[in-house]
Structure 1
Amino acid sequence: MKKLLSIFMSLCALFLLTVCAKNEESIQIETAIQETWDQTSNTILESEEISMRQISVKWNDKHVIYELNDSPISTSLMEQLPLTVEIENYSTNEKIFYPPEKLDARDSPLAKGGIGTLAYYEPWGDVVFFYGDFRENSSLFELGKVASGEEMICEMTGTMTIDFVQES
């Protein structure tokens, strides 16, 4: 953030210089300012997009963080956030919940297996938190992977809040 503030202040100083003298040099300075501004804007947008792909799953006083992949199905889930849902036990390796609307699985990757995978089972319309290994399934799409708190997935119970990770 300090770096962005420093860049912004530099841009302001360069702008003031261009106002004072309109010649060939000031035109070059204006061009440099615009290029720097464009690069800074793109960097800010990219960093916001990256942080927006992390979600937090909270219940009681615990939470697990997931990093979502860049797929239509993950975007479809993010568009429904924040959510307050009831978690259910299913089988011996997963917890599930049903989002209010079905997710768009077109052109999305299949879940490959592995503890900590966040997936969507399209036939039933449920989101799955895997805390044990699983087999690949042509109807099971990957949303992302656990970023922190993997050991707590099996403890998920009751009402949960799912939302974007808040920058601190």
Structure 2
Amino acid sequence: MKRAHLLAAVLALCCLVGCGTDPHAPAAESLSPAGAPSAEVAPQAEGEEQPTRIAVRADGREIVYELGQSAAAQGLCDQLPLTVEVEDFSTNEKIFYPPQELEVADAPLAEGGRGVLAYYAPWGDVVLFYGPFDGSGQLYELGRAVSGEGDIEALSGSVTISVWGEERGEH
């Protein structure tokens, strides 16, 4: 049993390294507070560890999310790049369905509001919140928007999701 846990930990570490960022690439500053708009992603001081960021793009809009350290966030990152259909759901969120389900065992429960990127395990959908929401015991946080969160509500139709910077040759 201990070997199985050790093997799982080693595999998780390998996955994290595989979607990590280039230490020589420009970094970005830490998360802005939930709900605080951010015009662009600012660079980080050199030597700081860089979190993984993903970009959601459609119709000239770009929302950049900083991912957490959970297996669920890594699982989403491992499926990128993706082109998916985003759908309206309720009055405060957009959703899409990744090709594969995400592992939520170590993911924190989602809290907050505008700018939260979450995964609703029962339905297997990723949620992009543009308004306040009530938490759920099955809604897990994947990350938070660091720029463009004001554009989430305007998303519709086909969106492209990729690791931020890869399309610019930065990683």
What is the Cα deviation at residue 49 of structure 1?
Answer: 6.8
TM-score by length of 2: 0.68
Aligned residues: 125
Looking at structure 2, the residues matched to 140 and 131 of structure 1 have their Cα atoms a distance apart, in angstroms, of: 15
2:29 paired with 1:50? no
Q: Which runs of 5+ in 1 are unaligned?
A: 1-42
Amino acid at match of 2:104: A
Q: Stretches of 4+ moved more than 6 A in 1?
A: 45-49
When Rg is computed on C-alpha atoms for both structures, the one with the higher figure is 1
Aligned pairs (5 A) from 1:96-111: 96-111=95-110
Aligned pairs (5 A) from 1:30-69: 44=23, 50=50, 53-69=52-68
Residue 81 of structure 1 corresponds to which residue in structure 2?
Answer: 80
Work out whether residues 115 and 129 of structure 2, in 8 Å CA contact, stay in contact via their aligned partners in 1.
Answer: yes
Residue 160 of structure 1 corresponds to which residue in structure 2?
Answer: 159
- 1:48/1:74 CA distance change after superposition, 3 Å: farther
Looking at structure 1, the residues matched to 48 and 161 of structure 2 have their Cα atoms a distance apart, in angstroms, of: 18
What is the Cα deviation at residue 60 of structure 1?
Answer: 1.4
TM-score by length of 1: 0.70
Residue 91 of structure 1 corresponds to which residue in structure 2?
Answer: 90
- 1:59/1:49 CA distance change after superposition, 3 Å: farther
What is the Cα deviation at residue 125 of structure 1?
Answer: 0.2
Give the number of the structure whose residues are more often helix, by fraction: 1
- 1:80/1:48 CA distance change after superposition, 3 Å: farther
- 1:103/1:61 CA distance change after superposition, 3 Å: same
Looking at structure 2, the residues matched to 142 and 116 of structure 1 have their Cα atoms a distance apart, in angstroms, of: 11
**Aligned alpha-carbon RMSD (Å):** 2.2
Amino acid at match of 1:50: Q
Q: Alpha-carbon deviations, 1:85-116, whole Å to 9, x = none?
A: 00000000000000000011111100012211
Looking at structure 2, the residues matched to 90 and 48 of structure 1 have their Cα atoms a distance apart, in angstroms, of: 37
Looking at structure 2, the residues matched to 100 and 50 of structure 1 have their Cα atoms a distance apart, in angstroms, of: 27
Amino acid at match of 2:78: E
